[in-house]
Structure 1
Amino acid sequence: MSGRKQFDVDAALDQAMRVFWQRGYADASLDALGSATGLGRGSLYGAFGNKDALFRRCLDRYTSVYGARYEQALAAHPGDPVRAVEAFFDVILGRIADPSVPAGCLIAQSAAQSPALNEENSTRVRGLLDMQRQRVRAALEDSSADAPTLDALATYVVAVNQSLAVLSRAGASDAELRSVARLACTTVADTLTRAASGPVAQG
């Protein structure tokens, strides 16, 4: 049919996303993107715009696929913030262990290459990290800890998540990654327990 795209946009985005995920923005050449998607350079530009625009579309695609899973895990245990964080890490570790996708995390990979991104894309990556922090912060809300403690814990959980992605790309085993996640969950539990017990009297 005249004017109708002759390819599956989501499938092309998935393939381009894998290239950015595996190689990082800087090393994701147009030739590599074209080879992965099956589109010539002209077709890539016609469908998605330039490389920066395609990268943003891939970030959005990654978020739509994995962000929903994180949100579901974090929301699945109302009233039990520690279990919510455990479920969050379970989803992350499941993604890392999935042999059908590249190692690590597209967001972590992109954050590490922020100096190579233009301002709009760098801002988008920071925004996605902040979105993740906000999701974790909301899951921690069902506790008696004060706001600064919850803010710090949410940032800590996101930092551990990013560290898991980096470690997985460096070849850390599933057992090693799960050990890190368990220790992080223990840290969250201990911090919330101390907060619930209130300040210790001095003197």
Structure 2
Amino acid sequence: MAGRKQFDVDEALRRAMHVFWRWGYSEASIDRLTEGTGLGRSSLYGTFGDKSALFRKSLERYAQTYHPLYEQALSGPHANPSAVVAAYLTVTLNRIADPAVPDGCLLTMSAAQFPALDVDGQVMVRAMIDGLRARLGQALLAAGAGEREAAELALCAVATNKSLAVLSRAGFSSEDLATVASAAVRNCGDSHS
């Protein structure tokens, strides 16, 4: 039938997300995107628009896949702020350990290449990071942290999350990553005592 897509759009988007995740926006060339998705240029452009639009759709797909896991982990109840940070970083470590996805984190990779993104991409990346930070702050308040402490711990937990993603891309072992996460959780306990 003329005009009907002969491929799975959702699967093509998942594959594009992996290309951006692995290579980052700057190195995710159209050739890499066509190879990674199995689509020709005309199908890629016709379905998703330009590279920037495809990147934003990939980032949305990433958020739809992983942010519910963070939401579930943060929904509590948690005994204390350390437990909130532990739950958040456990989701991070589990994602990093998944052999079916690239190392690191698409959001972290995108933040690292922030200047290469168009304004819409920059706004989206920052909003996603700010959203995670705000949700962490809410969970920390619910677990007994004061306002200032919750704000500080949320920022530190997001920074630790991003650090874990970078270290995983550099080949650090899962044991090393778990050590970083454990130290962050211990530091949260120290600040709350």
TM bucket by the smaller chain?
A: over 0.9
Take 2:100 and 2:144, find their aligned partners in 1: how far apart are those partners? Answer: 41
- The equivalent residue for 2:31 is 31
Instruction: Describe the SS at the equivalent of 1:172.
Output: coil
- The equivalent residue for 2:140 is 140
Equivalent pair of 2:26/2:116 in contact (CA under 8 Å): yes
Take 1:42 and 1:62, find their aligned partners in 2: how far apart are those partners? Answer: 24
Instruction: Describe the SS at the equivalent of 1:140.
Output: helix
Provide structure 1 residue ranges, at least 5 long, that are not aligned to the other structure.
Answer: 194-203
Cα drift, residue 150 of structure 1? 1.1
Q: Which has the larger radius of gyration?
A: 1
Provide structure 2 residue ranges, at least 5 long, that are not aligned to the other structure.
Answer: none
Take 2:106 and 2:112, find their aligned partners in 1: how far apart are those partners? Answer: 10
- The equivalent residue for 1:118 is 118
Q: Could you list the per-position Cα deviations for residues 75-128 of structure 1 after superposition, in whole angstroms to 9, with x for gaps in the alignment?
A: 133454322321211111011111111000000000000011111101111111
Take 1:83 and 1:145, find their aligned partners in 2: how far apart are those partners? Answer: 11
Equivalent pair of 1:77/1:83 in contact (CA under 8 Å): no
Choose between structure 1 and 2: higher helix proportion: 2
- The equivalent residue for 1:68 is 68
Cα drift, residue 4 of structure 1? 2.9
Cα RMSD after superposing both structures: 1.3
- The equivalent residue for 2:21 is 21
- The equivalent residue for 2:77 is 77
Figure out how many residues of one structure are paired with residues of the other and give that number. 193
Instruction: Describe the SS at the equivalent of 1:70.
Output: helix
Take 1:89 and 1:3, find their aligned partners in 2: how far apart are those partners? Answer: 45
- The equivalent residue for 1:47 is 47
Equivalent pair of 2:81/2:145 in contact (CA under 8 Å): no
Note if 1:185 corresponds to 2:185: yes
Letter in 2 for 1:149: E
Note if 1:4 corresponds to 2:4: yes
Cα drift, residue 141 of structure 1? 1.1
TM-score if structure 1 supplies the norm length? 0.91
TM-score if structure 2 supplies the norm length? 0.95
What is the aligned-residue identity percentage?
Answer: 50
Cα drift, residue 40 of structure 1? 0.7
Take 1:9 and 1:93, find their aligned partners in 2: how far apart are those partners? Answer: 29
Take 1:76 and 1:5, find their aligned partners in 2: how far apart are those partners? Answer: 43
Q: Could you list the per-position Cα deviations for residues 156-196 of structure 1 after superposition, in whole angstroms to 9, with x for gaps in the alignment?
A: 10000000000111111111100110110111122122xxx
Take 1:151 and 1:29, find their aligned partners in 2: how far apart are those partners? Answer: 38
Question: Once superposed, which parts of structure 1, at least 4 consecutive aligned residues long, lie more than 4 Å away?
Answer: none
- The equivalent residue for 1:196 is none
